[in-house]
Each structure stands twice: as C-alpha cells, then as structure tokens.
Amino acid sequence: MTVVGGIAGQLAAVAERVGELDGRYLAVALLLQLATLAFRALAWRGVLAAAYPAERIPGVGVGCAYAAGVALNAFVPARGGEGAKVALVRAQIPGSSVATIAASLSVLLVLDAVLGAALTAVLWGLGLAPGLPSVPTSGRALLVAALVALALVGALVLALAVPRVARAVRGFLAGAARGLSVLRNPWTYGRTVLPFQLSAWMCRIAVAYFVLHAFHVAAGLDTAILLVVFTGLSTAVPAPGGAGSQQVLATFALQGVVSTAAAVSFSVGMQVGITAVNAGVGIAATMLLFRTMRPLAAIRAARTGSPFGPRST
C-alpha cells in the first residue's frame, strides 16, 4: 500500500507538470514507441519462420499477438501477457506447439540480456554508470551455501520425477529445440531477426532520450541507455508492469542527473505514457485479430487465448 500511495502521489506531481512538457519530443517518442513494437514483432516472426519453414507465418497476425501480449503485461502479474502471445500465435500456425512458440520468444530474451549486459558493462567501464553494489564479504559464504543447497534439492526432485515425466520432457525439449532453430543458421538469424531486434533497441533508447528531454531533463544517450537497461530489469518483478520496482531502478539510473523526487516523477510519467500507448495499440490489435468492434470482448478473448471468433459489430 505504501508503494501504491507513493505512486499515486507521484501521479499527481506528474499531472501538474503535463502542461510543461515539450510536445515535440513527446510526438517523436510516440512514433518511436510504435516502431519499437513493430520491430520486435518482425524479429519474432523471423524466429517463428525458421521454426516452421513449411508454414506461412502471418506478419500482421504475429504483430497483433505481440502487441496484445505487451498490453496485457502492463496489467497482468508475472508477465501473463507472454502466455497470451503464445496462445494467439499458436492459433494461427497449424500444427504448432506451445513449447516451440515459447522457446521462440526466448530467442529474443537472450539477445536482450546480452545487449543489456554489454551496454551496462561499456558504460560502467567508461565511468558513465554508477558503481553496482557487491555482495558483502560476510554474506558470500551463506549465499553460496544456499545456492548449493537449492541446486541439490532441485536435482533430487528432478531425479524422483524423471521416471514419470521423461516422455513429456522429451516431447517438450524436442518442441523447444525447434523454436531455437534460427540459432543454428547464423545467416538466417542475421538477416531475419538481428536487424529488427537491434532496431527495436535503438528505438527504445531513443524513446527514453526524447521523453527525458520532454521532461526538460538535460541528459545524454548514456543516461538513456542506462535507463532502458535498468528499467528493463523491472519486468523480472512479478507485479503488473513492474510497478514500484521500475521507479526504484529509474532513480538509480538517474542519480546524479536529477533529484530522487524528480527521477521518480519522471519514471511514473514515462511508465504511464508508454503503458497507455502499448495498451491502446494492444487493444486495437486484439480487436483486429478477433474481428470484433468490442474492446472488452477482444481483451477477454486475448486473456483466455480463445479461438478466433466470427466478425461482430
């Protein structure tokens, strides 16, 4: 409740500053956010096309499914929108499996992790990022012991369960391996996935840069990069849209640039704005996907992954 109350207070502060925002920067940020969604969807389509080379992968359908999942992630805990992406795409590809489509999404996440870590390391090495805290010496032994114990318990549980689930696991792994097919062909990956995902990253960084300047925060690309990487970590928190954690991480990324209060206010404003754009695009995409003019019906269908229904008005 404290976090919610704090965010509500910052929303009021953001509302007071709306009149001071530079609309030119916001307009550019809006277009770049739309481009981010489009590039991410194209990258995912490339992964799916490699997994199902004999099938026609609908670009518009994949884009709509991706946008719907992104919109749901802002409101459903534990990134529930990822399940919606899988269900919506599976309904469009004959003979597809959950394991394959879920694994195809992981291809994008792996590159995201690599790029995020590389950019942070570069900025840190150049002295452009604040030093990251280390584990206290006194707590390292306890941490290592806890990890070892957790690994042993996990191995024991797996050993006991293997006789019962071996067949299911083999089937799942075979499907998952198919979803990673694009990684076995560097040329295809470099032609159909990598350019779009890199373009999406550049658009995300540009969005942060222009929103910073819309809030009259004099910051460079290094700050925008750090903001994108750190706030991206908030998606690991099982809360809708990473609420609360995103503000903490944004404050850390912006320390030394603006005050803590200004950083939180900026983060709330940016999160609300991007969520509104993603939600609007996601609802429109879901309505198109399910051929309905009723937004609530489309949202319910996307959450349940129900089959495509007839056109309704």
Model pLDDT, residue 312: 39
Model pLDDT, residue 109: 87
140 found inside a domain: no
4 found inside a domain: no
32 lies in which domain range? 23-131+147-197+211-304
Model pLDDT, residue 89: 93
Model pLDDT, residue 267: 82
205 found inside a domain: no
Residue with structure tokens 């802002």?
74
Q: Which one-letter DSSP state was computed for residue 242?
A: G
254 found inside a domain: yes
- 123: nearest Cα among 14, 225, 204, 272: 225
Helix 245-253 × helix 2-17 angle, to 10°: 60
Q: Which pair of structure tokens corresponds to residue 272?
A: 């609300």
Between CA 137 and CA 188 the distance in angstroms is 46
**Number of domains present in the structure of the chain:** 1
Amino acid at 152: L
For the chain, 313 residues long, the average pLDDT of each consecutive 10-residue run is 54 61 88 96 96 92 92 75 89 90 90 84 71 50 64 59 52 76 90 94 94 87 87 63 67 78 82 88 87 73 55 38
- 19: nearest Cα among 216, 180, 303: 216
Residue with structure tokens 């293997």?
162
3-state secondary structure 70-103: HHHHCCCHHHCHHHHHHHHHHCCCCCCCHHHHHH
Model pLDDT, residue 105: 92
267: part of which helix (H) or strand (E)? helix 260-289
pTM score above 0.85:
no
8 found inside a domain: no
